[in-house]
Amino acid sequence: MAQVTVTRRLQFNAAHRVHNPALSDEENRRLFGKCNHPNWHGHNYTLDVSVAGDIDPRTGYVLDLGHLKRIVETHVIDRVDHRNFNLDVDFMQGTIPTSENIVVAFWRVIAPLVAPARLTRLVLWETPNNYVEYEGR
Ligand code: NI
């Protein structure tokens, strides 16, 4: 059976402050620069969600991309869009909201929801020039 990967792109806007409360203010400024600004700042994020699986002979799909979109919107995008990662997002509490930590947290939410396909890759763009990717390892 042919294994095919399908990808849905979603976008959201969110605020954060990259700050480690275990470190001094000076060390935080040195490590994180502008991203440590105390009064928050925002990003226009792009998230690419890839799932892989067999092509269902009945539909010709691996997973209906409209269905994938609704899963990710309901369980991730609606919980982070126009929110503050430090204050508003329950699954990010106690975590420094870098793109690295955000993408791992998203994985934990999305992975159990895409059966019978399986989540193979998340790519989170923080700016058009910077992205992180995670494959669940
Ligand atoms: Ni930032």
pLDDT per residue as tens digits for the range 31-55 = 999 999 999 999 999 999 999 999 9
Ordered by where they begin, the domains of the chain are: 3-14+43-134 (3.30.479.10)
Q: How many angstroms separate the alpha carbon of residue 59 from the centre of ligand 1?
A: 41
Q: What is the pLDDT of residue 1?
A: 76
Q: What is the pLDDT of residue 92?
A: 96
CA–CA separation, 91 and 94 (whole Å)? 9
**Residue 100 catalytic?**
no
Q: What is the pLDDT of residue 2?
A: 87
Point out which residues pair with 46 in neighbouring strands: 11, 125
- Please name the helix (run of DSSP H) or strand (run of DSSP E) that holds residue 44, with its range, or none: strand 41-54
- Which residue out of 37, 41, 82, 135 is catalytically annotated? 82
**Residue 37 catalytic?**
no
Contact predicate 133/123, CB 8 Å: yes
**Residue 82 catalytic?**
yes
Q: What is the pLDDT of residue 120?
A: 98
Q: What is the pLDDT of residue 91?
A: 95
Residues at Cβ < 5 Å from ligand 1 ion: 35
Report residues of the chain scoring pLDDT below 70: none
Please report, for the chain, how many H helices and E strands are present, in that order: 4, 5
Query: What are 44's two structure tokens?
Result: 């226009």
pTM for this entry: 0.95
CA–CA separation, 5 and 118 (whole Å)? 9
